Copies of this chain bind each other. A is one copy, B any other.
């Protein structure tokens, strides 16, 4: 078995037998339950080590920031689903989470990737130049700069300074926060107007500061939003809105005979 496992796949994640549960080398019952919070366990499961106190504060701030943002598309989808499949609340939560994709959450990881790319290019190109080149490319391709601009929050996303403040208080506003703030100045100069650093942009930098793998970043948004959707589902039971949203959607997009049938 050991040999076969040595070659083939294996898991470090978890295992249970008659009397114990192992999770990444720890005893779940005696070393984790009652000893760590959900947030610490999430970090442990994804990073393979327990976070320090400051990292926990920053991660909690990020998770709390993304949890709830009103009637987002994922909340609307979850409420419509709760009305259609009332017996299985996990279906409503999961369907809302499917919408946490490139459009509404991918920017966190994309902003983090941009900062890493700039950091890697700086020695050769020079920091300012590395930023200007990339921002210029995005602008000329009419692509958004990941982590910048917001449809609702103008001129500035109020969540961003708060997130950066929490990181500073935790002593974790390091080189990625510095890079993000320098990038912000370049973005404003290249665009000739102010584009706010949005909350997902700030989170991209903070996740790098606390050592979250890029691949986990969108998943963290998903976990955070899962919590927020529970609130929407409970409220939907008490104050139903799904049927009215559905009826209204027929007025938003009324039926029209197609030309070929005119």
Contacts and interface: CB of A to CB of B under 8 A. Distances in A.
A77 B95 contact: yes
Contacts of A256: 5, 10-12
A71 B250 contact: yes
Contacts of A241: 9-11, 249, 252-253
A25 interface: yes
A78 to B, nearest CB: 10
Given A94-B98, A218-B90, A255-B11, A28 B223 contact: no
A60 B37 contact: yes
- Quick one: copies of this chain in the complex? 4
A93 B97 contact: yes
A20 interface: yes
Given A103-B84, A215-B237, A152 B18 contact: yes
A208 to B, nearest CB: 16
Interface in A209-240: 213, 215-216, 218-220, 222-224, 226-235, 237, 239-240
A132 interface: no
Interface in A66-97: 67-77, 80-81, 83-91, 93-95, 97
Given A45-B227, A83-B103, A103-B85, A255 B93 contact: no
A254 B101 contact: no
B248 A248 contact: yes
A39 interface: yes
A84 B93 contact: no
B71 A99 contact: no
A22 interface: yes
A92 to B, nearest CB: 9
Contacts of A20: 158
A88 B85 contact: yes
20 contacts: A9-B241, A10-B239, A13-B70, A13-B235, A19-B158, A25-B257, A25-B262, A36-B60, A38-B39, A38-B60, A41-B68, A74-B84, A85-B98, A85-B101, A89-B219, A94-B222, A95-B95, A97-B226, A215-B237, A219-B233
Q: 8 tightest A-B contacts by CB?
A: A25-B261, A15-B255, A45-B231, A9-B241, A14-B70, A84-B99, A85-B101, A241-B253
